[in-house]
């Protein structure tokens, strides 16, 4: 076994070991789950520096084609990795995320690092303070690799001001948005896990289209301090990762009460890892008929979800069909409430509207003239929809739907100028029901189309019961091999 001496440190009996060449090369490290990588770091078999270098080398090699990153913070990442290396060697291991390389959506404020919100309007925006989720990641010892591409202002699912990220499963396909770079980077092994932000489905859609696990936590579970707002009554930060366990590990670090965000909850954060028992015997799962059998769900998607339901039954879950009538109107309700976005960006809309991308500009202009009565009606309908969702949880533990009605779509320009283009602007609406209800919802891979594009299964739970959602998602994941497949880039 070969050893190396930690930089600027006198050799001691506790040194990191370099993997034997016949066991693993440094270039293999990005393909480990962060749960595996974390364990190897804790046991001093892999250095955070080795892992960070491996990810940075992979970013250098591939991101020119994928466009997942807006900013790569290589120098800062290596500095943080060296600090983590020293701390672990000295016995100061901070926890599961210590030394793990991560990346975050460029909507999330980072001190001293460009934060664009996906728009050239903010091309010179260098915050002086970290968002709370960044503070939490740093406190856990995570290593920040950089800032990830996104749709402009996170208020559109497909339109980008920067070169749009390519889906690692098919480079001519979209990753979905708005956390598009988060999906591309995680699926292409350009980071261990990523933070996105989910308003109407902006974590779950990229997770579904990129073959990942991605969760929108309960509204208030994670602080939004320092996160550029989109639709403030719905915006929620959440992680994307390659496994449910990795997703749970990342969420645990960023969750909790924050005095800087008055909407953050003081609800205790449980041990999410402990919930991954591998058993769901006796749990009740409700299939939402309005969402599984909706016209927007292609048959190939529906069949994969039906197959997933059969697997869950075999694992011991009790499965029933139920109805949430207003789920069929979630898109219209969402549209009425999203007038919050043009109000948030009102000054830009008035003074710099020509700099806002077409898709957003049209949406904002329409929203700006929407009568107050329509917004009020949207709020009332949202309340009724939430009541229906919560009532459904009176008889089941989990609500199950497809994450998306279609697989990853072809990249198209903004605006779509080809009359033959088949881009749908509403593939994320199946996720919107749970955004409006502000309950936790997880997307996990449940199959592939005939064209080898990922399909997502959506699992929603009661408020603050992310543990139950993770438990079901993990059990399904362990019974299948969809999450083990890798895109060929």
For the chain, what is the domain count? 1
With respect to residue 16, please indicate whether it lies within any of the assigned structural domains: no
With respect to residue 33, please indicate whether it lies within any of the assigned structural domains: yes
- pLDDT > 90: percent of the chain: 85
With respect to residue 280, please indicate whether it lies within any of the assigned structural domains: yes
End-to-end CA distance of the chain: 33
CA pair distance 158, 177, nearest whole angstrom: 6
Report whether pLDDT(12) > 50: no
Output the pLDDT for position 423. Answer: 54
What does residue 10 show for φ and ψ, rounded to 5 degrees? -65, 135
CA pair distance 383, 290, nearest whole angstrom: 18
Averaged pLDDT of the chain: 92
For the segment 210-249, what is each residue's pLDDT rounded down to a tens digit? 999 999 999 999 999 999 999 999 999 999 999 999 999 9
With respect to residue 189, please indicate whether it lies within any of the assigned structural domains: yes
With respect to residue 13, please indicate whether it lies within any of the assigned structural domains: no
Structure tokens at 218: 């309960």
Secondary structure (3-state) at 198: strand
With respect to residue 8, please indicate whether it lies within any of the assigned structural domains: no
Hey, which residues are catalytic here? 105, 178, 202
Q: What is the mean pLDDT of residues 366-378?
A: 93
Output the pLDDT for position 8. Answer: 33
Q: What angle is formed at CA 252 by the lines to CA 460 and CA 388, rounded to 5 degrees?
A: 20
For the segment 167-186, what is each residue's pLDDT rounded down to a tens digit? 999 999 999 999 999 999 99
Q: What is the mean pLDDT of residues 343-367?
A: 90
For the segment 426-476, what is each residue's pLDDT rounded down to a tens digit? 555 789 999 999 999 999 999 999 999 999 999 999 999 999 999 999 999
CA pair distance 249, 445, nearest whole angstrom: 18
30-34, 239-243, 328-332, 359-363: least confident range: 359-363
Sheet of strand 236-241, all strands in order from the earlier edge strand to the far edge: 69-72, 143-148, 101-105, 193-198, 236-241, 213-216, 441-448, 454-460, 398-402, 284-288, 318-322
- For the chain, the C-alpha Rg in angstroms (whole number) is 22
CA pair distance 280, 409, nearest whole angstrom: 34
Categorize the per-residue pLDDT at 21 as very low, low, confident or very high, splitting at 50, 70 and 90: very low
With respect to residue 30, please indicate whether it lies within any of the assigned structural domains: yes
Residue 367's domain spans which residues? 26-484
18 vs 10, more confident: 18
Structure tokens at 147: 């800032």
For the segment 382-425, what is each residue's pLDDT rounded down to a tens digit? 999 999 999 999 999 999 999 999 999 999 876 655 545 555 55
With respect to residue 20, please indicate whether it lies within any of the assigned structural domains: no
Q: In CATH, what number is assigned to the domain containing residue 395?
A: 3.90.1300.10
């Amino acid at each position: 076994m070969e050893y190396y001496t930690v930089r600027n440190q006198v050799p001691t009996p506790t040194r990191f070991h370099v993997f034997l060449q016949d066991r693993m090369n440094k270039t293999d490290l990005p393909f480990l789950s962060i749960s595996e990588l974390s364990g190897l770091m804790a046991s001093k078999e892999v250095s955070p520096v080795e892992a960070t270098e491996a990810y940075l080398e992979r970013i250098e090699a591939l991101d020119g084609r994928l466009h997942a990153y807006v900013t790569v913070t290589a120098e800062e990442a290596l500095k943080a990795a060296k600090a983590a290396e020293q701390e672990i060697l000295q016995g100061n291991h901070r926890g599961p995320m210590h030394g793990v390389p991560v990346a975050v959506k460029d909507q999330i404020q980072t001190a001293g690092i460009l934060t664009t919100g996906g728009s050239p309007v903010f091309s010179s925006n260098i915050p002086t303070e970290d968002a709370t989720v960044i503070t939490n990641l740093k406190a856990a010892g995570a290593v920040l690799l950089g800032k990830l591409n996104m749709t402009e202002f996170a208020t559109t699912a497909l339109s980008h001001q920067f070169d749009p990220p390519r889906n690692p499963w098919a480079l001519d396909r979209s990753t979905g948005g708005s956390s598009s770079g988060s999906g591309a980077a995680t699926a292409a092994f350009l980071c261990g896990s990523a933070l996105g932000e989910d308003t109407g489905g902006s974590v779950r859609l990229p997770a579904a289209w990129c073959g990942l696990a991605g969760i929108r936590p309960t509204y208030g579970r994670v602080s939004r301090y320092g996160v550029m707002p989109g639709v403030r009554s719905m915006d929620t930060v959440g992680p994307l990762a390659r496994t449910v366990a990795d997703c749970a590990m990342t969420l645990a670090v960023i969750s909790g009460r924050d005095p800087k965000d008055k909407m953050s909850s003081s609800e205790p954060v449980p041990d999410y890892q402990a919930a991954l028992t591998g058993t769901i015997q006796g749990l009740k799962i409700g299939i939402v008929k309005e969402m599984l059998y909706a016209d927007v769900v292609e048959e190939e998607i529906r069949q994969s979800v039906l197959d997933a339901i059969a697997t869950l039954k075999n694992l011991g879950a009790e499965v029933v069909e139920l109805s949430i009538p207003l789920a069929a109107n979630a898109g219209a309700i969402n549209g009425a409430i999203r007038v919050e976005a043009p109000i948030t960006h009102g000054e830009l809309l008035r003074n710099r509207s020509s700099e806002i991308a077409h898709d957003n500009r049209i949406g904002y202009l329409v929203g700006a003239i929407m009568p107050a009565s329509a917004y009020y009606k949207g709020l009332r309908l949202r309340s009724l929809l939430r009541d229906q969702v919560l009532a459904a949880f009176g008889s089941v533990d989990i609500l199950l739907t497809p994450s998306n009605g279609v697989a990853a779509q072809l990249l198209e320009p903004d605006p779509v100028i080809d009359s033959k283009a088949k881009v749908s602007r509403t593939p994320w609406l199946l996720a919107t029901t749970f955004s409006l209800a502000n309950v936790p919802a997880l997307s996990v891979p449940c199959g592939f189309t005939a064209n080898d594009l990922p399909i997502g299964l959506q699992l929603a739970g009661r408020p603050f019961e992310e543990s139950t959602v993770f438990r079901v998602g993990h059990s399904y994941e362990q019974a299948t091999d969809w999450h083990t497949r890798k895109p060929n880039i």
